[in-house]
């Protein structure tokens, strides 16, 4: 708190007291009191008033600095009122009100967290339950003619992809509780993602090429496989003529990079900064339909949780390249 702030806060009180002082002096002068005596009284009162204001400013500033220091040292700042001892009745009453307010806030937050946890658990349970009829529908498709089977399997694959996204979206609320960091072969992760989306790639006539994937990374295999699946789905949805997807690995010192490159329709330059925003579909998504704008958003959230660098480069009409940079083993102690 500065002197200007202090004076501004008490300006009305100061003006009132000075006005009363001069009114009293005028009254004394009108009753015949000698001017010299009135002057001495005015000087004495002004000195006392000035000392009172300076003392009040000093103690108030000291107290505020003390409270700010306590706040800065707290890791859990919502416990501030529990760590401060009131100095007077005003502070005691004020801190009691703040405690009641904080208690109400904590109860509201706890209730919201409990409801969110229940909803997340329900979504996860629903996802696992819905996969059973999806699998059953895929088996039933085997008894239909080839053309019908192909169409049904394509639609079921889309349903399965949306269900999988819902599951991972629910898990991103508390990612640290779901992932397990382990030593994993990059080639194994890529192979799993390709196999999971084999039907989609075949139906869209996409050829997949792999290069230099004999690298070891330290990450959560399931999460990275899901991320690669989202990239493969995007490449399939926005493919061009003679579509090819290339997955290539490269070691950069203690880090490993995985590049997922396609020769699809690409993304316009002005849309690139927003591709990882939640719900952003862009012109391509609106033109071709079926885009939710959640796939790349989830990829970014999962990548951040796993400390994986995620970058995208694209040229409209030529294709897109997404690069994943995996953290070095020495960095895993912070996760």
Neighbours of 127 (CB within 10 A): 16
Strand pairing report for 182-185 and 255-262: unpaired
**DSSP secondary structure letters along 291-316:** --S-HHHHHHHHHHHTT-EEEEEEET
Show the beta-strand stretches assigned E in the chain: 182-185, 207-211, 216-219, 244-252, 255-262, 309-315, 319-326
Residue 81 has pLDDT above 60, yes or no: yes
Question: How buried is 285 (Cβ within 10 angstroms: 0-12 exposed, 13-18 middle, 19+ buried)?
Answer: middle
User: Is residue 137 within 8 Å of residue 156, measured between CB atoms?
Assistant: yes
What confidence category does residue 174 fall into, taking pLDDT thresholds of 50, 70 and 90?
low
Q: Angle at the Cα of 112 (from 108 to 117), degrees rounded to 5? A: 150
User: Is residue 236 within 8 Å of residue 201, measured between CB atoms?
Assistant: yes
Comparing CA positions, the residue from 192, 300, 226, 212 lying closest to residue 256 is 212
| Residues 239-286: tens digit of each pLDDT | 888 899 999 999 988 899 999 999 988 888 888 888 888 878 777 777
Comparing CA positions, the residue from 280, 277, 238, 243 lying closest to residue 263 is 243
Cα dihedral 177/181/184/188 (nearest 10)? 20
Strand pairing report for 244-252 and 216-219: unpaired
Spans of all domains in the chain = 3-102, 121-171, 181-334
Both tokens assigned to 99: 């405690």
- Between the CA of residue 331 and those of 137, 302, 334, what are the distances in Å? 44, 17, 6
Phi, psi of 237 (to 5 degrees): -70, -35
pLDDT for res 332: 54
Both tokens assigned to 179: 């992932």
| Residues 133-156: tens digit of each pLDDT | 877 887 888 777 777 877 787 778
| Residues 195-232: tens digit of each pLDDT | 988 888 888 889 999 998 998 999 988 889 989 999 99
Comparing CA positions, the residue from 125, 220, 216, 210 lying closest to residue 178 is 220
Distance from C-alpha of 287 to C-alpha of 214, rounded to nearest angstrom: 38
Phi, psi of 260 (to 5 degrees): -110, 105
Say yes or no: domain 181-334 is CATH 3.40.190.10.
no
| SS3 label, residue 320 | strand
Residue % of the chain over a pLDDT of 90? 16
- Between the CA of residue 313 and those of 193, 257, 273, 296, what are the distances in Å? 21, 14, 10, 13
What confidence category does residue 177 fall into, taking pLDDT thresholds of 50, 70 and 90?
low
Distance from C-alpha of 107 to C-alpha of 104, rounded to nearest angstrom: 5
Both tokens assigned to 235: 């490449």
pLDDT for res 210: 92
pLDDT for res 157: 77
């Amino acid at each position: 708190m500065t002197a200007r702030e202090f004076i501004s806060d008490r300006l009305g009180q100061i003006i009132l007291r000075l006005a009363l002082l001069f009114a009293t002096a005028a009254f004394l002068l009108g009753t015949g009191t000698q001017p010299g005596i009135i002057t001495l009284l005015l000087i004495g009162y002004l000195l006392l008033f000035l000392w009172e204001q300076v003392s009040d400013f000093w103690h108030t500033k000291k107290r505020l600095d003390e409270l700010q220091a306590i706040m800065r040292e707290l890791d859990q700042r919502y416990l501030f009122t529990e760590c401060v001892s009131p100095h007077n009745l005003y502070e005691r009453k004020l801190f009691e009100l703040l405690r009641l307010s904080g208690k109400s806030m904590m109860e509201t937050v706890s209730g919201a967290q409990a409801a969110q946890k229940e909803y997340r658990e329900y979504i996860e349970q629903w996802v696992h339950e819905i996969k059973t009829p999806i699998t059953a529908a895929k088996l039933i498709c085997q008894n239909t003619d080839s053309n019908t089977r192909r169409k049904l399997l394509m639609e079921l694959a889309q349903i399965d992809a949306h269900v999988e996204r819902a599951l991972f979206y629910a898990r991103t609320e508390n990612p640290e509780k779901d992932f397990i960091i382990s030593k994993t072969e990059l080639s194994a992760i890529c192979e799993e993602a390709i196999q999971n989306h084999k039907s989609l790639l075949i139906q869209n006539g996409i050829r997949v090429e792999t290069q230099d994937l004999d690298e070891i990374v330290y990450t959560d295999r399931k999460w990275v496989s899901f991320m690669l699946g989202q990239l493969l789905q995007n490449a399939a949805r926005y493919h061009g003529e003679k579509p090819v997807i290339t997955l290539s690995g490269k070691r950069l010192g203690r880090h490993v990079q995985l590049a997922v490159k396609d020769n699809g329709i690409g993304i316009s330059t002005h849309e690139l900064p927003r591709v990882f925003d939640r719900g952003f579909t862009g012109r391509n998504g609106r033109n071709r339909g079926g885009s939710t704008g959640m796939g790349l958003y989830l990829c970014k959230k999962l990548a951040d949780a796993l400390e994986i660098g995620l970058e995208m480069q694209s040229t409209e009409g030529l294709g897109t390249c997404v690069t994943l940079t995996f953290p070095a083993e020495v960095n895993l102690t912070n996760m």
